Structure 1
């Protein structure tokens, strides 16, 4: 353990500005995840202190909001643990080729991931403390939440931090197998990840079961039972989307690589090969928008439902308060979802540039204009983004249709919210691509090359 610790600290200390930037990315990602996770869980805890006839409804809807937000945050957490994995895998594979034992490589992996995750989660706790007064200004149950009701508390905070750090360690170990078994394949980048057809069939069966369960839930009368069923169904389906996504992107990229032609064939081929090089990394670029598209469908239907209820005439004071809280909760869920997307996209795209810096430098030295390299980079993200966002929205619509009915799903307000959310998600990705372009310039060098 002691040699592994010394080697880990040596690798963390030594390295250029690019390597240091690669180390800061997972720290930043874990900071964002921790701050948002603690804020979401702390806010949800408030609803379980409400008493009265509407308490169960508030608590059930809070549980639904938590599952819709926590799954994307856990996805971002898993991505954060694998950020700059290529840099780490290359270092570890070199050590394996030099004769380092498996125990040393394993210890180094766990130690590095744990240190970075711990630093990020501690920063996230500070972020949670700063966010609490701001979120506390939001009104629920006819009064402001207050910072005290948003703070999760010491036991919950410690438990959440430990869980995130453990998840980081486990995620890093999952990707360690190829380094141990085939270090030369990792070093020469001959380890393109694959997804078996059996897993695809299993995933499609899970989606089918989700649709059947959603149809059965449509007959439920108890709000608690309905929401519990929704939480289970939606949680499984969102996890399925996260698993199926890389396979979908690989299939699309294969077709694009075969059909690349025309004046921009070089950019198209490079974009397709970028996705095929690591479908999982490509999925991490767009997974945030996929999950936000999923959430947007439920938000649109929820707002359409609340709008319809408001137009039915006079209602009791508690019902009116509940209606206002429903709208506030939906909008707050969307806002947090977009913040998650922005953080996920910015961090993952920065990590992608740093992980592929050797490729970008080689293309630059071969004389490929940097503008064309950047075009290929943007195309590798935006091309699958449209399919992923629309596909996720379609799956969500299929799940919620038995519960809401076609009328709410096709309501103009619902359609407007869904369209606006999809446009906002794609816009966030596009802006993030523009924002990370200077990093590409810095990685490839200060001299701008032009084609002969």
Structure 2
């Protein structure tokens, strides 16, 4: 019995070693990220439900298509921010996890404990997001759908739906944390030995090109004869598939561009930055993945605004019902763009903190060799400029292919299209650079206490 108690005591001690708060307190950034995810998800579902149940006088299901398009445009940005928060949470426990594995704890046991911790953090963030949603209800109730305000009754979600959304946030966290821990738990030294950076194969571009081509074909073939369900399924499948293809192709393009720039670089900051990008192109892409998604959304959004403006200015046969529908489309477009950039702003802060922690050993070593903090900061800015260039241009071009007829009309007749797209891409670029500058204090703290945990 005493041996059994000793084993239980040892496991409880190991459990506390893994999950106890760091010396600087609770993981505030992951909790904040999950709170934002939850509040945004609840608000988006309110609008999507209102559009889904809106009256449809023409009988073609246009409002249901609008609701589905809104959900499809935001599901990947929300999932990306959730995965980023989970990776940061797992990274904060990486050293402790390695210690437990070296002490003989099984990978199954450590994985289970780490996933429980991820669930607790996500659950706390989800509850905080629910608290953020409550004061938003009065503002949501004044939003007009089909010309009438939502009202407080439709701005509130039912309890089962709220619980389902909160559980979805926790599931995202558990899934992302499990994927982050998978390779680290292969062996007791899995965390310490980071020599398994994935190679970027050209097949990534081939697969992405096939997905984009198939999505363009599907959208070109859609017609009223497909019905509401068919058109909705086509829109959702096409946009989600292309967003996934961007994450497949992006790291390869980042690696190719970094190699070309590395061959022409000479100063220390540029060399360190580009070598860091090539060390893990996927990690470099994750730093700007929010901008990629926002750029992808900006082109359909800008083209829709420009197209609607052109139709209302040049067409004399627009009915009052169509004018209301155009207003609802504008609301969805503005909401999608605003929410996507809100998620970008949050993910930039989380990702930049995670990037500092990921390369903590490098920065401490450079500091001991005498490299100034200003040079390190410049290197960090350069490390995001290469993937940022890919993230700003490639998704916008792919999105233009998907909605090429509307883009063609908007470019010729609506200057608002160009202004909207350029402004959105510029805003995403500035957000990432500001995220690098804002997290300089984290780097300064790492250098001030190189032998202590954040």
**Same fold, judged at TM 0.5 (above):** yes
User: Within 5 A, what are the aligned runs for 1:11-26?
Assistant: 11-13=18-20, 15-17=22-24, 20=25, 23-26=27-30
User: Within 5 A, what are the aligned runs for 1:144-183?
Assistant: 144-183=149-188
Change (3 A) 1:103 1:342: same
Deviation at 1:289, TM superposition (A): 0.8
Aligned mate of 1:420, from 404, 409, 423: 423
Aligned to 1:383: 386
Aligned mate of 2:372, from 347, 369, 385: 369
Write the deviation string for residues 404-446 of structure 1: whole angstroms up to 9, x where unpaired: 3622355422111111111111122222222222222232229
Deviation at 1:317, TM superposition (A): 2.1
Does 2:360 match 1:344? Answer: no
Aligned to 1:272: 274
Change (3 A) 1:197 1:85: farther
Change (3 A) 1:223 1:245: same
Q: What's the TM-score once normalised by structure 1's chain length?
A: 0.90
- Mean CA deviation greater in 309-318 or 56-65: 309-318
Distance 2:97 2:67 in 1: 44
Write the deviation string for residues 304-342 of structure 1: whole angstroms up to 9, x where unpaired: 121122111263222221222222221122111111111
Please state whether the residue corresponding to 2:198 is helix, strand or coil.
coil
- Mean CA deviation greater in 153-162 or 94-103: 94-103
Does 2:17 match 1:10? Answer: yes
Aligned to 2:357: 354
Aligned to 1:112: 117
User: Within 5 A, what are the aligned runs for 1:121-200?
Assistant: 121-200=126-205
Change (3 A) 1:438 1:197: same
Cα pair 2:42 2:165 within 8 Å, conserved: yes
Unpaired runs of at least 5, structure 2? 1-6
Aligned residues: 439
Change (3 A) 1:144 1:361: same
Cα pair 1:106 1:173 within 8 Å, conserved: yes
Change (3 A) 1:212 1:39: same
Q: Over the residues paired in the alignment, what is the CA RMSD in angstroms?
A: 2.4
Aligned mate of 1:395, from 389, 393, 398: 398
Distance 1:405 1:356 in 2: 42
Please state whether the residue corresponding to 1:117 is helix, strand or coil.
helix
Cα pair 1:294 1:393 within 8 Å, conserved: yes
Aligned to 1:450: none
Distance 1:198 1:428 in 2: 31
Cα pair 1:288 1:344 within 8 Å, conserved: yes
Aligned to 2:3: none
Aligned to 1:298: 300
User: Within 5 A, what are the aligned runs for 1:79-98?
Assistant: 79-98=84-103
- Mean CA deviation greater in 317-326 or 48-57: 48-57
Please state whether the residue corresponding to 2:195 is helix, strand or coil.
coil
Does 2:437 match 1:434? Answer: yes
- Mean CA deviation greater in 201-210 or 115-124: 201-210
- Mean CA deviation greater in 108-117 or 126-135: 126-135
Unpaired runs of at least 5, structure 1? 448-452
Cα pair 2:254 2:386 within 8 Å, conserved: no
Aligned to 2:406: 404
Distance 2:366 2:74 in 1: 40
- Mean CA deviation greater in 89-98 or 297-306: 89-98
Distance 2:384 2:141 in 1: 36
